[in-house]
Structure formats: C-alpha cells, structure tokens
Chains A and B, each alone.
Chain A
Amino acid sequence: MWSWDVAIEVMPLLLRGLWVTLQAVFWGMLLALVLGLAWALLRRSPRRVIAWPVRALVEFVRSTPLLVQLYFLYYFVLPAIGMRAEPLVTGVVALGIHFSAYTSEVYRAGIEAVPVGQWEASQTLNLTGWQTYRHVVLPQAIPPVVPALGNYLIAMFKETPLLSAITVVEMLQRALNFGSVHFRYLEPLTLVGALFLIVSLLSGILIRTVERRFLSPAR
C-alpha cells in the first residue's frame, strides 16, 4: 500500500516537474493576456472583415479540446512553418492561444461595462480611438476583471498536465515515468494531485486578496 519511502524518493522529481509547470503557466498566461486583449479589441472593430473572423476564431478555439490543439500545433503547424517543434515552447503557445479565447471574453465584459459617457467624453476631448482605449477605457475596464483573469490562471495551471502528451516532462509525466520504472503509481500520482491542490488553493487565496485590493471602494 502507501509507502512513505517511495513518497520521499519521488518528491524531488515532482518538485522539479512543478517548476517546469510553473514556467509553462507563467509564459502561457502572459501570452493569453496579450492575445486575449488583442482579440477583444479586434472584435470591437467597426470593420466586419476584421471583427467577424476574430469572433469565429475565438469561438472555435474555445469549443475544441486543448489536447487536439496541442497535437495540431506540435505535429503540423510548427513543422509546416519550418520551426523545430520544441515541446515546452509548443505547450506554452497552445496554452496561450487556448486561454486567450477565454481572457478575450473577460476583457470584453470589462470593456462593455465602461459607461457610454466615458466614450462620449473622449470623443468630445478629440481623443483618437487608440488614445480613448489607452487612457480612458482600458484603465477602467481591466482592474474590475483582474479576479476573473486570475481564475483562468488557475484553470491554465490545471491544464498543464496535458503537455505531457507532447513529451514535456512536467509533474504528471515525471510521476508516470517513475511509475513505469518502479511500478509504483499510488504515491507519485497521489502526490501530484496533492501538489495541484496546494498550489490551486494558495493561488485562490492570493486572487481573493488581490480582488479585495482592486475592488476596494478606496480606488
């Protein structure tokens, strides 16, 4: 049954995997935040040839499995454009694109919540479209949605084990490798679950703290 010796032996391996996971989440989230904002702004474009394809793309990415998107990128897109398919980079790109579909919806909600008067005032002040977004709309639209974005950070973290499918040696992959060598699956897999739980709960607490900061009436 459960053996603490095995647990202690496998722990350093898993922690190294956790470090890979955290790196993937960091870069993936950065990409998702930037791309998501780009989608959110583009789909508000008055030109339909821009707005419509972006909406379709977001809808498509959001409705299809990340795993298949990973395979598609890893086995097809990256080789086709002549890039060597580096697993971790592919994983980061896939996570970033997949979650940008979600973050774009979050940004959209934030932008739509900015009162019409703010737009009108910007127009009166002769601000260009870009200036309006940069100095008036986005500074009001983004702070309220930070907690929602944070939730997607946790969601992304929980999707990282999928990267093992394209041979990224993150936590799950390390646990499975250990399992296949020593034929002990109980301890490594349970510990991976426990590590996920701990990091998720801690990040949840962190996000609620940030939430109080951003949503405090003092601002």
Chain B
Amino acid sequence: MNQTLSLLLQGLWNTVLLTAAAAVVAAACALLAGMGRISRDPIVRAVSALYVELFRGTSALVQLFWFYFALPILLGVSLPAFVAGVLVLGLNIGSYGAEVVRGAILAVPRSQHEAASALGFTRRQRMRYVVLPQAARAILPPAGNLLIELLKATALVSMITITDLTYAADRVREHTMQTGLVYGVTLLLYFTLALVITGGVRFLERRVSVGLRQDGVH
C-alpha cells in the first residue's frame, strides 16, 4: 500500500515537473514564433510559420516518437526521454501559443504603436513597454487553456517510459489489479492539478488587470 502510494506520488511529482518545464519552453516558443510571424524580416516570418504549421498540423504523440526514435538516427545522438518529453510538449503547445500571441499583439490598437513612436520609443522598447503588457491581458485566458492542454498532454510521455502519473498508474494497476480505483484516483489527481492551474491563471488575470476600469481603459 505504502509502495503504491509512493509510486503514484512520484509520478504526480514528475507530471508537475514536466508540465512546469514544458510550460517554460512553450512560453518561449510562443513568444518568439508569435512575434516572428509578424516580423519585418521575411525569413523570420517564414521560419515561424513553418514551425507553427508543422507542430500544429501533426499529432503530439507522433512528434514525441519522432523526437525519441527518429531524430537520434538523423543526429547520431539520442535524447534522454525526459528531455525529449519536455522539448516536444513545449514545442507542440508553443505552436498553439504562437497564434495566441500573434492575435493578441495584432489586437493592441494601432494608436498605441503610434503613440509609442511619437514618444520616441525604439521598436524594441515599443514592444517591451507598450505592446506586450497590453497583449498580456488578451494572452492570459487562452494561455490558461493551453496550460491545461499541456498538463493533459504530459500523459503521453508515459508511452516513452517516463514515470509520470499515467505511467505510475499503469504500474500500480499491474500490481494491484484495482483498475477502477487506480485510474479513478489518477483522473481525480489530474483534475485537481487542472483546478490549481485554473485558479492560478484567474489570480494572474486579476493581477494584470489592476488599474483598469471595467471597460478596459487605463
């Protein structure tokens, strides 16, 4: 019983770690590719678009197997399972996030860009101090949904033998044969993690909306 519990807890912890690490990768990819898609440089635009289409157009599980089994053949070095997992989950969710970032940046009113230019901001400063802080408000709610998608997607790594919550549950099921109980508890644990994420995102949404009136004007 104790062993069972500690195995599940270890799996839970690994799922949390994977989600957190992949979220960092995803956020970086989303910001880079999201801004890249509206860059002035046509090459940056093309590379960003290619990344987004490739990762959104194919299946996350296929990507995972490809990075784990096929990429090492091309590169001659194999990726540790955990690294492959974080990388693929991050790149996958990041490609969806890129579209969110792009949409949010484009939704910032034109006048804000113009006002920043009039104040003598450089392009970089304009993005950093004027556009992105306003885009953040539009990014957060969909980002919260993507974070839950990411949490759910971490279950895939159990198929490349990472001991996440799903893998641990599978092991426990084999030992105890308490199938309904084990998977029921596992589903509840995932649901709890999702609730924590939802709560966290709501908190952040309130934080970035501080100082705004109801109509969203400063």
Contacts and interface: CB of A to CB of B under 8 A. Distances in A.
Nearest to B71: A186
Contacts of B152: 63-66
A164 B57 CA distance: 19
A130 B33 CA distance: 48
Nearest to B156: A67
A161 B73 contact: no
Contact of A76 (B57, B154, B180): B180
Contacts of A69: 187
Interface string B145-166: 0001001111110110000001
B56 to A, nearest CB: 8
A160 interface: yes
Given A63-B191, A63-B195, A68-B155, A186 B58 contact: no
Nearest to B66: A189
A176 B60 CA distance: 15
Contacts of A64: 152, 187, 190-191, 194
A63 B148 contact: yes
B170 interface: yes
A109 to B, nearest CB: 14
Contact of A186 (B74, B151, B156, B195): B74
Counting chain A residues whose Cβ lies within 8 A of the other chain, the interface size class is 35 or more
Interface string A54-83: 000000101111111101100111011000
Contacts, number: 108
Contacts of B156: 67, 162
A189 B170 contact: no
Nearest to B170: A71
Contacts of B54: 197
A159 interface: yes
How would you classify the secondary structure of chain B's contact residues: helix, strand, loop or mixed?
helix
Given A60-B191, A72-B183, A65 B61 contact: no
A22 to B, nearest CB: 14
Contacts of A1: 73-74
Contacts of A189: 62, 65-66, 69-70
A67 B183 CA distance: 11
A213 B119 CA distance: 46
Interface in A165-205: 165, 172, 175-176, 179, 185-186, 189-190, 192-193, 196-197, 200-201
B126 interface: no
B173 interface: yes
Interface in B156-189: 156, 158-159, 166, 169-170, 173, 179-180, 183-184, 186-187
Contacts of B58: 158, 193, 196-197, 200
Given A64-B190, A80-B180, A162 B74 contact: no
B7 to A, nearest CB: 16
25 contacts: A60-B187, A60-B191, A63-B190, A63-B191, A63-B195, A64-B152, A64-B187, A65-B152, A65-B155, A66-B152, A71-B169, A71-B173, A72-B184, A76-B180, A79-B179, A160-B59, A161-B61, A161-B62, A172-B59, A176-B65, A190-B70, A192-B62, A193-B58, A196-B59, A197-B57
Interface of B: 53-54, 56-63, 65-66, 69-70, 73-74, 148, 151-156, 158-159, 166, 169-170, 173, 179-180, 183-184, 186-187, 190-191, 194-195
| The 3 nearest A-B residue pairs measured at CB | A63-B194, A65-B155, A185-B69
Given A189-B66, A193-B58, A196-B59, 13 more contacts: A62-B148, A64-B187, A71-B173, A76-B179, A76-B183, A79-B179, A158-B60, A159-B59, A185-B70, A189-B70, A200-B58, A201-B53, A201-B57
